[in-house]
Structure 1
């Protein structure tokens, strides 16, 4: 079995680079003199103190070490815990202009979108409008084995439905025109043309097909487009004012340029304007570091859900290897609860550690792998080795096979 957590659709390849040094500024979108000079910036929220200079220096070295090794163009790192806060922007947001990375930029968050789609589903369950053990056929027609696949199995990646991103025709279509718009039904057609991979509930396979179906369920029961339901039922009550579900290729400014090697020939390509509709409910959303900081805590603690419904998220998780458990649109990695994301040009890690009341957000403007491992994972691993050595965030290296067969966040 192969496991990874991202929204890949294209063949994977490599990575890029820079670093920064310390400056202190207030939170916000204003660009400081340090940022204009291309330096990293430490920003501390009013309610938190600065982590000790010794810890901050170690974190600086750790992040810069990953940047040097992977040649990532830029990264935003935010860590908040009892001892204080560490928020930094390293490297460049635009390789052409050399504009520096900044902590207030909008970024594509890939499969972090799954946490919003599944939370929307759970909100409907809380309202008594659907049951997690309802068959998907009750809400969406034409699903193979739909009368035997439950909404719970879709949210927990146990449906057995073929991952549409593994379909050669889909891969060819996306690579031929990365700005093409796909409908959810078009995406599902690539999946439904194949036999099931396994019987519902029998195994686990991370697949965007599951979350696309859940998006359609939310639309059916919620009575409005998914993006609108998520806004009203999740973003507004969670007070996330800088997070959005785009209609197409719109991307609020300021944002970082995203770089990928998933174009034809594996050449380095600017993927900023690529259309994320191919990932829809599984990976199309956009956000900022501060919103993701807030969301990490909301997701992990279940603020928007009843205690009973929140408990369902990790009631029967799948454990692909020691230290990782996947529940309903949320995973736990050595105590860190949340999710990660990846789609062409961008990667994210958004997690909360209840035992330490710690939150970690990593946003980077490349999706290229380094020795088979996601750059986002490498940054999160380096930060937690310093800050929470007893709870080190870690996901394994992935096989060198084409990414669609290991559809990840």
Structure 2
């Protein structure tokens, strides 16, 4: 689709967010639409920071893999070896690799198939979820779904468990691990974990329709993002991320990260280690969808092209993302 048609789709759909197409460092498209804060009429700009929901699972994966390269973890490390008596329903043979590839079979605290629409889910005591350890009561008590390695089943809780394993192996809190091992080497200076109840002025508030009214997502997400997603970032930082990742500035094992481990035909994709992969090309994807947030950033390493759509509504990114993919 001609890039000029993006404006038409944005206006027809009421899109709120930012669209960027970056080809090897040359910006081909960069537009902002809608409002970052509806109460005060603050417009989105190209520098606005957006929550990217599950898009930051890739950052969790790279944090874990940097610990693997350092020798603090291995792909074959079992979760049980670091969990001790915590989360006893996680099977003894579940490994770091199983968790990274969504093949662990563990029960999920946020099961997207069973819990209905994302707008229906409300996090209990969201204000208390400021650390990885605080998630333990949420992660506990969920029965195993299938044997480890048997099949792919997307699992949010698995990535919080990965954050917990990273903390215990690395001796540093999850948020600082990501900052040190991913954000800093990637030059992502405007990306960070931000509390939803004290968002800075340059951050878009997430909105979702409830009872006929658009409300903020403050009660629908943990107050501070963790391993399964929710970091805030910009289109420019995401372009910087992809360049740094494929240059080997974050981890050395780039080819292993993007090697297909699972086919996911129901989504017309494949999966590597924490990253979605196109079903037939080399394109790598970060994708996120949650209450008041929708996001996709794809990178084609052959042409160096990054296509990013960030939105502060639950479904807003998808019409434009589909158009950019054609």
TM-score normalised over the length of structure 1:
0.70
Unaligned runs of 5+ in 2: none
Q: Distance in 2 between matches of 1:61 and 1:230?
A: 37
- After superposition, the C-alpha distances for 1:88-137 in whole angstroms (9 at most, x for unaligned) are 11233333444332101111111122111111111111111111111111
Change (3 A) 1:242 1:188: same
Q: Does 1:376 align with 2:317?
A: yes
Structure 2 residue matching 1:220: 3-state secondary structure:
helix
Cα distance between partner residues in 2 of 1:87 and 1:233: 28
Mapping of residues 76-155 of structure 1, within 5 Å: 76-81=18-23, 85-141=28-84, 142-143=86-87, 144-155=89-100
Offset of residue 247 of structure 1: 5.5
* 1:331 alignment partner, one of 256, 268, 276: 276
Change beyond 3 A, Cα 1:176–1:324: closer
CA distance in structure 1 between the partners assigned to 2:7 and 2:119 by the alignment = 36
Query: Match for 2:289 among 339, 342, 350?
Result: 342
CA distance in 2, matches of 1:118, 1:153: 12
After superposition, the Cα gap between the structure-2 partners of 1:173 and 1:59, relative to the gap in structure 1 and judged at 3 Å, is closer
113-122 or 188-197: which moved more?
Answer: 188-197
Q: CA deviation at 1:189?
A: 3.5
Q: Map 1:273-312; keep pairs closer than 5 Å.
A: 275-277=221-223, 280-306=226-252, 309-312=253-256
Using the alignment, how far apart are the partners of 1:258 and 1:172 within structure 2? 12
1:266-297, Cα deviation, whole Å (9 max, x unpaired): 64212268653475211131111211111133
Which consecutive residues of structure 1, in runs of 5 or more, have no partner in the other structure?
A: 1-54, 369-374, 386-409
Q: Give the CA deviation at 1:179.
A: 4.8
How far did 1:212 drift?
A: 0.3
Give the structure 2 partner of residue 241 of structure 1. Answer: 189
Tell me what 1:62 maps to. 6
Equivalents in 2 of 1:147, 1:176: separation in Å? 28
Partners of 2:260 and 2:270 within 8 A in 1: no
* Whole-angstrom CA distance in 2 between matches of 1:91 and 1:247: 22
Coordinate RMSD, CA, aligned: 2.8
Pairing 1:357–2:304 present: yes
Q: Distance in 2 between matches of 1:119 and 1:353?
A: 19
Aligned equivalents of 1:221, 1:256: Cα separation in 2? 34
Give the secondary-structure state (helix, strand or coil) at the position aligned to 1:233: helix
Cα separation, partners in 2 of 1:279 and 1:335, compared to 1, 3 Å: same
- Give the greater-gyration-radius structure (CA): 1
Q: 1:189 to 1:198 in 2, by over 3 A?
A: farther
| Aligned CA distance change for structure 1 residues 301 and 319 (closer, same or farther; 3 Å) | farther
Partner of 1:389: none
CA distance in 2, matches of 1:205, 1:100: 38
Distance in 2, Cα, partners of 1:193 & 1:177: 15
* Contact kept in structure 2, 1:297 and 1:359, CA below 8 Å: no
Paired position in structure 2 for 1:189: 137
Describe the shift of the 1:209–1:323 C-alpha distance in structure 2 as closer, same or farther (beyond 3 A): same
Tell me the matched-pair count: 315
Q: Provide closer, same or farther for how the CA distance between residues 164 and 266 of structure 1 changes in structure 2, counting only shifts above 3 A.
A: farther
CA contact (8 A) 2:119 2:291 kept: no
Q: Give the superposition deviation at 1:376.
A: 2.0
CA distance, structure 2, for counterparts of residue 250 and residue 273 of structure 1:
13
SS across alignment from 1:210:
helix
What is the CA–CA distance in structure 1 between the aligned matches of 2:148 and 2:11, rounded to whole Å?
41
TM-score normalised to structure 2 length: 0.86
Change (3 A) 1:207 1:300: farther
Q: Deviations over 1:361-407 (max 9, x none)?
A: 11111014xxxxxx32321121232xxxxxxxxxxxxxxxxxxxxxx
- The answer to whether the 8 A contact 2:261-2:271 is kept is yes
Alignment partner, residue 209 of structure 1 = 157
Q: Distance in 2 between matches of 1:190 and 1:179?
A: 11
